[in-house]
Amino acid sequence: MIYRARTVVTMDRPVIDGGAVAVTGERIVRVGGFAEVCAARADEITDLGDVVLLPGLINAHCHLDFTSLRGQIPPQRSFANWIRSINAKRRELSDDDFLAAIAEGFAEARKWGTTTIANIESLPHLLARMEDPPLRAWWFLELIDVRTDAPPEELVEKALSLGKITDGWPGGFGLSPHAPYTASPRLSQLAATNSTLRLTMHLAESREEMDMFRDGRGSLFDLLQSLGRPMDDCGQGRTPLATMLARQPLDERWIIVHLNELTEEDFALLARGPRFHIAHCPRSGRYFAHSPFALARLRALGFNICLGTDSLASNSSLNLFSEMRAVRAANPAMRAQDILEMATSNGARALNCAASLGQVAPGFAADLIALPFTGRAEDVFEHIINWREPIVWHLAGGILRTL
Ligand SMILES: [Zn+2]
């Protein structure tokens, strides 16, 4: 099948006017000008008309479990209060409610052009009740041992065995020690012993997390102490980032989520070389009124920064176009093309799929979306990041799905 479009944005070469993409099975086989792609081939042609064809978007951090909590938790005075609120809401929901929320989340993400999601799964037993997901998904099984007597070995072993349920689904699975305050050092170290898995963790998200680790005080400190967490890693002048780096190396297998709260000492640590990926969730950060994310500074240090929506318990939609606009609002000088990279090829790198996802190129997965476009090629990236409607056309792994 050949898809013809007014404009094709590949993310690895200049914008193509009058372009086409040939797809065989689940893969892209040729990309270029229409005549070039069609030469000597008798494939069936679908003319998409006045659209820009681009790679499907990649959401590098999301919690589909909480899709039903949109608008349910107003911004709280403290991050600890928000944790209390979400835990209370969770207790009102059944497994069926969570399964419905996950399905609803996939549908919403797809509507807004997402074809790959890195999803934190806090209820991994639900995997056994799910059908093959409609989008490519990485299931990061959440690991928390702050309120359990189960040994970390047992928790990791159980997660690894539940992860096998996703074999054969589009995407993959990984492990997510939740955060340095909810996952013990032993738990996050054990999660990283399987060298083939991707890992993700919330880190340096809130001021309360900084207060807890560095100063041994504050509402998050009080909450976790009341839950019986050993607090001997707090109050020693060590930031959340320094605490994690003292526990274990954070290498290129890790997607570190948030990093809103960084000190000058942290930047000195980062300059020394941990080379994890960073998932930035701009609208979730705004909801919590976290400190501004140091995007330009972290980019200058060479970090691969991708975009996530976080959950609908701290955001209003699973829409990466809105996240891209939030990046632009906070970084007016940043090029639209670089912002789109955060939602496509950078996310693919973070998931260890730099050679198969996030670009329109031969050999890559046929995950493509289209938006109406009648403008000039030089304006196309601005057009994309300013897109405000559901997308008009979507191909996931070569399979056309009706929206
Ligand atoms: Zn999150």
Helix (H) or strand (E) holding 47: strand 45-47
How much distance in Å is there from the Cα of 7 to the middle of ligand 1?
Answer: 35
How much distance in Å is there from the Cα of 156 to the middle of ligand 1?
Answer: 20
How much distance in Å is there from the Cα of 15 to the middle of ligand 1?
Answer: 34
Overall residue count recorded for the chain in this entry: 403
DSSP at 170: S
**Greatest CA span in the chain, whole angstroms?**
71
Say if strands 114-121 and 2-8 run parallel, antiparallel, or are unpaired: unpaired
pLDDT over threshold 90, residue 163 = yes
Fold that domain 57-350 belongs to in CATH: TIM Barrel (3.20.20)
Res 403: pLDDT: 46
How much distance in Å is there from the Cα of 25 to the middle of ligand 1?
Answer: 34
What are the tens digits of pLDDT across the range 332-372? 999 999 999 999 999 999 999 999 999 999 999 999 999 99
How much distance in Å is there from the Cα of 29 to the middle of ligand 1?
Answer: 36
What are the tens digits of pLDDT across the range 88-122? 998 999 999 999 999 999 999 999 999 999 999 99
Q: Residues 41, 22: contact at Cβ < 8 Å?
A: yes
Measured CA distances, 345 to 16, 110, 202 (Å)? 18, 18, 21
Positive or negative, the CA dihedral 334, 340, 345, 346 is: positive
Q: Residues 178, 143: contact at Cβ < 8 Å?
A: yes
How much distance in Å is there from the Cα of 203 to the middle of ligand 1?
Answer: 10
What are the tens digits of pLDDT across the range 285-321? 999 888 999 999 999 999 999 999 999 988 999 999 9
How much distance in Å is there from the Cα of 117 to the middle of ligand 1?
Answer: 13
What are the tens digits of pLDDT across the range 183-229? 999 999 999 998 789 999 999 999 999 999 999 999 999 999 999 99
Residue 287's φ and ψ, nearest 5 degrees, are -55, -45
How much distance in Å is there from the Cα of 9 to the middle of ligand 1?
Answer: 30
Banded pLDDT at 167 (limits 50, 70, 90) = very high
pLDDT over threshold 80, residue 41 = no
Banded pLDDT at 40 (limits 50, 70, 90) = low
Average pLDDT of span 229-253? 97
| CATH 2.30.40.10 domain residues, the chain | 2-56+358-400
- Greater model confidence, 149 or 352: 352
Measured CA distances, 384 to 57, 70, 198, 321, 367 (Å)? 11, 25, 29, 8, 17
How much distance in Å is there from the Cα of 33 to the middle of ligand 1?
Answer: 41
Degrees to nearest 5, angle at CA 318 with 314 and 319: 120
Res 239: pLDDT: 98
Q: How far apart are CA 340 and CA 306, in angstroms?
A: 9
Res 17: pLDDT: 96
pLDDT over threshold 90, residue 74 = no
How much distance in Å is there from the Cα of 61 to the middle of ligand 1?
Answer: 6
Res 76: pLDDT: 83
How much distance in Å is there from the Cα of 63 to the middle of ligand 1?
Answer: 6
Q: How far apart are CA 395 and CA 135, in angstroms?
A: 10
How much distance in Å is there from the Cα of 115 to the middle of ligand 1?
Answer: 19
How much distance in Å is there from the Cα of 69 to the middle of ligand 1?
Answer: 14
- Could you tell me the two tokens for 388? 């405000």
How much distance in Å is there from the Cα of 311 to the middle of ligand 1?
Answer: 6
Average pLDDT, rounded, for the chain? 94
Say if strands 277-280 and 254-258 run parallel, antiparallel, or are unpaired: parallel
Helices (DSSP H) in 250-366: which residue ranges? 264-271, 282-288, 295-300, 320-330, 336-342, 345-350
How much distance in Å is there from the Cα of 44 to the middle of ligand 1?
Answer: 43
- CATH 2.30.40.10 for domain 2-56+358-400, yes or no, is yes
pLDDT over threshold 90, residue 399 = no
How much distance in Å is there from the Cα of 12 to the middle of ligand 1?
Answer: 30
Say if strands 57-62 and 51-55 run parallel, antiparallel, or are unpaired: unpaired
Res 398: pLDDT: 76
| CATH 3.20.20.140 domain residues, the chain | 57-350
Q: Residues 217, 208: contact at Cβ < 8 Å?
A: no
How much distance in Å is there from the Cα of 282 to the middle of ligand 1?
Answer: 12
How much distance in Å is there from the Cα of 198 to the middle of ligand 1?
Answer: 16
How much distance in Å is there from the Cα of 165 to the middle of ligand 1?
Answer: 23
